[in-house]
Amino acid sequence: MSEPTTDPQNPPPGQNDPKPEPGSAGGGEDLAATLKALRSKLDSVYKERNELLKRFGDLDPEAARAALQAQADREKADAEKKGEWERLRTKLAEEHGKALEKERATAARLRSSLERQIVRAEAVRAIAAAKGDPDLLLPHVLASVEVVEEGDEFVARVLDPKERGKHRFNSKGEYMTISELVTADLRERFPRAFEGSGTGGSGATGSAGSEGGGAVVLTRDQAKDPATYRRAKAEAEQRGVSLRLAS
């Protein structure tokens, strides 16, 4: 009688069940070891928890969250303040620049006024010393003089009519003074504007006239007008006669 054939793909029940290790009661000792390890781990966690509770036992979680949020809010506010300060610093710099420009403009106006006063005062003294007519001669002096800064002082310098921007010198090679400009140059150009020079004919307002001898004559009002004065001077040069001032 033959033995039954066994199908390796379908073994009889129980044939492939895991066999307990020698000396064990169905794996019970492994389960006990696992439980023991878990209990030890749990004891460690509880111990750590108890340590934390000792350190932070009085800490309220809500209060802790509120404190963290407050810290975050402070950091945000600090960042915003920093941005505000940058904007404020830029604004202050712009305002300072505008104020500085305004001060510079004011200083320029004050300097211009000071220069005019310096020249005017010195010119009036020179004209008075030469016994000239300040109403007539002063405009010519002011147009022929500029003020320059030398060290800590402002001084008047007579301009050279032949070279723009150059200063005029006297026969000694020194800077010409306003007094020398009045007594030498203006007396020669406008002799009748000085006391004791006599008088000549007269011209009509707005145009130069002629006196005996053919000289071109200007009234005081005409001589104050640069355009009229230039026309009269050109006429005198064209005719080859002198330019005179009528008193």
pLDDT tens-digit map of 45-87? 778 777 766 766 666 777 777 888 888 888 878 877 778 788 8
131 lies in a domain?
Answer: no
Structure tokens, 161 = 């009519």
Radius of gyration of the chain (CA): 56
Q: How far, in Å, are 131, 183, 213 from residue 216 at the CA level? A: 23, 22, 9
Q: Which domain holds residue 219?
A: 199-247
pLDDT band at 201 (very low <50, low <70, confident <90, very high): very low
pLDDT band at 21 (very low <50, low <70, confident <90, very high): low
pTM: 0.40
203 lies in a domain?
Answer: yes
Please give the Cα distance from 177 to 168 (Å, whole number): 9
Residues 6+ apart with CB under 8 A from 194: 130, 131, 132, 133, 187
The pLDDT, as a whole number, for residue 6 is: 53
| Residues 175/208, Cβ–Cβ less than 8 Å | no
Which amino acid is located at 239 in the chain? R
The pLDDT, as a whole number, for residue 9 is: 54
9 lies in a domain?
Answer: no
- The phi, psi pair for 169, rounded to 5°, reads -115, 155
Please give the Cα distance from 132 to 221 (Å, whole number): 16
Total domains, the chain = 1
Instruction: Kindly state the average pLDDT of the residues 91-118.
Output: 83
Question: Exposed (0-12), middle (13-18) or buried (19+): which is 224, by Cβ within 10 Å?
Answer: middle
Lowest mean pLDDT among 7-21, 196-210, 229-243: 196-210
151: left (phi over 0), alpha (psi -120 to 50) or beta: left
Please give the Cα distance from 38 to 29 (Å, whole number): 14
Lowest mean pLDDT among 147-151, 178-182, 223-227: 223-227
Structure tokens, 202 = 């007269």
212 lies in a domain?
Answer: yes
210 lies in a domain?
Answer: yes
| Residues 119/125, Cβ–Cβ less than 8 Å | no
Instruction: Kindly state the average pLDDT of the residues 206-217.
Output: 57
Structure tokens, 154 = 């402002």
Instruction: Kindly state the average pLDDT of the residues 150-164.
Output: 84
Task: Name beta bridge partners: 209.
Answer: 217
237 lies in a domain?
Answer: yes
Summarised one tens digit per residue, pLDDT across range 175-190 is 888 888 898 888 888 8
pLDDT at 113 over 60: yes
72 lies in a domain?
Answer: no
204 lies in a domain?
Answer: yes
